[in-house]
């Protein structure tokens, strides 16, 4: 079970991701609607996993990921975005995301990425 922060400016996507995570028994600590809010909530809550949209107002997901990883180099961030171009995926990974899921979120692909995060977290805790 992981403690998760969901970051997405779309209420529909936050609900969808929350439902997927909770179906696996993970705990959603909170939600954020932009990159600045994500950074503040990450520092406050220290979640095990962050699901991070790329395209958001105020500060995008790439910038927020870089800031969170500067604060905590071990932060586990799963990037989600409708913009699945190769360059965007590469930029997300280079900014510190451990994986990338294209929206609309494929349930199996998303759950596999979350399982990968849980395995990495367990390995890190040993």
| Nearest of 97, 87, 101 to residue 66 by alpha carbon | 97
Q: What is the mean pLDDT of the chain?
A: 91
Domain of residue 19, CATH code:
3.40.50.2300
- Residue 94: give the domain boundaries: 3-125
Rounded mean pLDDT, 82-92: 75
Where would I find the H helices in 1-126? Answer: 11-23, 35-45, 61-71, 86-94, 107-125
| Mean pLDDT of the region 61-86 | 89
What is the count of structural domains for the chain? 1
pTM score above 0.75: yes
Mean per-residue pLDDT, 46-66: 93
């Amino acid at each position: 079970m992981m403690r998760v922060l969901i970051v997405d400016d779309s209420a529909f996507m936050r609900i969808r991701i929350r439902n997927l995570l909770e179906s696996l028994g993970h705990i959603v600590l909170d939600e954020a609607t932009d990159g600045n809010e994500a950074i503040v909530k990450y520092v406050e809550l220290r979640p095990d996993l962050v699901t991070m949209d790329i395209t958001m107002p105020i500060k995008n997901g790439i910038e927020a990921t870089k800031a969170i990883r500067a604060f905590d180099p071990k932060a586990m961030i799963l990037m989600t975005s409708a913009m699945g171009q190769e360059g965007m995926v590469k930029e997300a990974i280079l900014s510190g995301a451990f994986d990338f899921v294209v929206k609309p979120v494929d349930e199996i692909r998303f759950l596999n990425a979350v399982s990968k995060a849980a395995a990495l977290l367990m390995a890190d805790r040993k």
